[in-house]
Structure 1
């Protein structure tokens, strides 16, 4: 497969004569499968959101860029779900009993009514429109990369980013310039997915026992999405973002752009996201908080352990133990198969994510982030008065961090400070 011209200059690759032949062969194979990060309407959302956020910052809004970027990620993934999945089918009818809002239809990605679960604590089981795990991964990863691409291009025009196009590959993403090649394993998943809503002017009816009766609450419904106004619904704040009908130009991104072009709406979204972040951060099995039922990966209902609202495997970011274990192995593999094979130590190994692990960090990562490794073959003789069995000496260049960085939108850890200068949020905000 021919290498795209954009990626011909990858360090240690096909055109790097200074690299060992064995390493150059591996990187060349990677080069052949690298593709550029998709571009399009999501980039307009990123630009508009961050322009409005920076305007807020200039006017004294003191909320960290980490929260803003993590909030942006969830908004972007929600928009992509809407674009890809919305249809006449898949809606759930909510009569709005005991709610002063009237009836609506909801296109939900979790298995409960987004309005009733948050406002009344009622968690009826409804059909989920969440796509298969493979599609979830693609949407989440690309969203992560698109945000990083925006940041990287603002920091330096010399830094490039690409992803491996193979379905099963060891390396998810590469970031590089002339001096550094960063190999990344990506673990991305949203904290919240905002459902869609169509508001109704009356309650629906159905036929039962030969009579027309009021339609049963929280049952499946269909609606012509091409002729009805659709909203993106923020359940815990009872806020709606007008998207227009599904046949509107640039749907749903046009409506989202109109909304986030107003900086105060960005403030609202970030504050609303931080509220849910705090809910997720708290003990999930303490006093019941109804807002937890709109969070991804929230598992079963507290009062019905047999009913899963969203599989716990869908926890946000890399907050699953399996994600941390795989990410750790991949980082070690990047080190032993690539990083140490580079004589000038041009290669780094990172994990990238949208949301830094909260519930699993202390148990699985806190004691590992500063781990360094090496191999016996790198040991050096030293002239000291100790038995050889008591001490081994290694050059600094032959000691490797297990993780050169864990790069997240909500939080990051950098062991290799050179990486921080290329991709960090602090560096981006200083531009």
Structure 2
């Protein structure tokens, strides 16, 4: 797919006057190409995909499943970089353990120590839900766009403003228009940190003594001090301020181009894989990493912030949104070119069996679509039968109701496109 292409979405060039055509044209005209916004994110995701290709070809990623884990880690790394846009001077958390560091935390725990028994007052700097929605949609769109380019599946991606309501993303080619709802949330956020040359001190009578516990602190002059992105197990990656006509933002400073980025991605993927395994096992494995993950519970982060599509409210709202979009737009398209998809960064590991498995092969229709009744048998045109969603797409595992969508967006397809042979 050409990065600069601007093909018309399927069903906009048709000769029919569908009742929904004007609304779909409205979506299309107001949507932005995923490549046109946040150019630094787009370029960084492009680098990450170069790294993924290298990791596939040198055996670090050996199958589609492990590629999904690396993609999940890539998403969280991208989200963490977007979160740095909001870093301010107040309400950092000082950790007295060697080497002394201060963090700009997103959870109510120490990014290095985890849950704290005697907690300092910790301010969690998570953005509002609207902002998180914009960030997650931007990251998924950038990753999907790169998937389409690498896989050469012919699809393009466009992003709708969050205030548009029913639809978050458009994915389309000349045959099919996919209307997408995004429900996404990170598993692990890498906070910004600063390193201190020596322990912070406090007054004790007439003497100065090292601070011996976690404390809330302020960090001045952020633009002129070294900042890092912190990964569990004492890994940190330098950040640099970039000014390119937009508001200054922070990016990773690998120092060695793509090679350095690949080294960072390997480290993040390895740590993320352990957290993912812990989460999948309900923390029977890698228990010590629980308190560094979103939605871990306790006093650190509310369980309602579960990663990916594992928040039950998001599952319920997402499935309803699929029904609503399908009933209006999929059913309303006379050429049957519209599809609907629920998108996330991580599949509902905990809640899939209970909340979604029953919909895997389910179909629905309207009563007025029944053509005839013969006792307990009814006749319905296959074009009037609709799945609850045509695609439940996540970076770690997906479900498809159409072979064409599976060929375009499956992890197996991407794995082979990146050079995988298994």
Shift in alpha-carbon separation, 1:123–1:292, aligned structure 2, 3 A: farther
Aligned to 2:76: 74
Q: Distance in 1 between matches of 2:28 and 2:285?
A: 51
Aligned to 1:277: 276
Aligned to 1:292: 290
Aligned to 2:325: 334
TM-score by length of 2: 0.87
Number of residue pairs matched?
404
Shift in alpha-carbon separation, 1:157–1:280, aligned structure 2, 3 A: closer
The answer to whether the aligner puts 1:312 opposite 2:308 as a matched pair is no
Root-mean-square deviation (CA), in Å?
2.7
Aligned to 2:30: 33
- Relative contact order, CA 8 A, sep 6+: which one is greater? 2
SS at match of 2:223: coil
Q: How far 1:252 moved relative to its partner?
A: 3.1
Aligned to 2:90: 89
Q: How far 1:425 moved relative to its partner?
A: 2.9
Preserved contact between residue 319 and residue 359 of structure 1 (Cα < 8 Å): yes
SS at match of 1:261: helix
Query: Of 110, 113, 124, which residue of structure 2 is paired with 1:113?
Result: 110
Aligned to 1:239: 235
Aligned to 1:165: 161
Moved more, 151-160 or 107-116: 151-160
Shift in alpha-carbon separation, 1:287–1:269, aligned structure 2, 3 A: closer
1:52-63, aligned counterparts within 5 Å? 52-61=51-60, 62=62
Q: How far 1:60 moved relative to its partner?
A: 2.0
Shift in alpha-carbon separation, 1:92–1:166, aligned structure 2, 3 A: closer
Moved more, 393-402 or 353-362: 393-402
Preserved contact between residue 260 and residue 266 of structure 1 (Cα < 8 Å): no
Per-residue CA deviation, residues 211-266 of structure 1 (Å, 9 max, x unaligned), is 6444462222122322322221112x22111225x479885324158476244543
Q: How far 1:411 moved relative to its partner?
A: 0.7
SS at match of 2:331: helix
Q: How far 1:428 moved relative to its partner?
A: 2.7
Q: Distance in 1 between matches of 2:119 and 2:398?
A: 35
Q: How far 1:321 moved relative to its partner?
A: 0.7
TM-score by length of 1: 0.86
Preserved contact between residue 182 and residue 350 of structure 1 (Cα < 8 Å): yes
Q: Distance in 1 between matches of 2:7 and 2:51?
A: 36
Preserved contact between residue 7 and residue 31 of structure 1 (Cα < 8 Å): no
Q: How far 1:398 moved relative to its partner?
A: 1.9
Aligned to 1:305: none
Shift in alpha-carbon separation, 1:129–1:88, aligned structure 2, 3 A: same
Preserved contact between residue 134 and residue 162 of structure 2 (Cα < 8 Å): no
Per-residue CA deviation, residues 95-136 of structure 1 (Å, 9 max, x unaligned), is 11xxxx331111111111111227x88765522122122111
Preserved contact between residue 52 and residue 260 of structure 1 (Cα < 8 Å): yes
Shift in alpha-carbon separation, 1:27–1:248, aligned structure 2, 3 A: closer
Query: Of 100, 103, 107, which residue of structure 2 is paired with 1:103?
Result: 100
Q: How far 1:53 moved relative to its partner?
A: 2.1
SS at match of 1:317: coil
Aligned to 2:420: none
Preserved contact between residue 243 and residue 252 of structure 1 (Cα < 8 Å): yes
Q: How far 1:10 moved relative to its partner?
A: 2.8
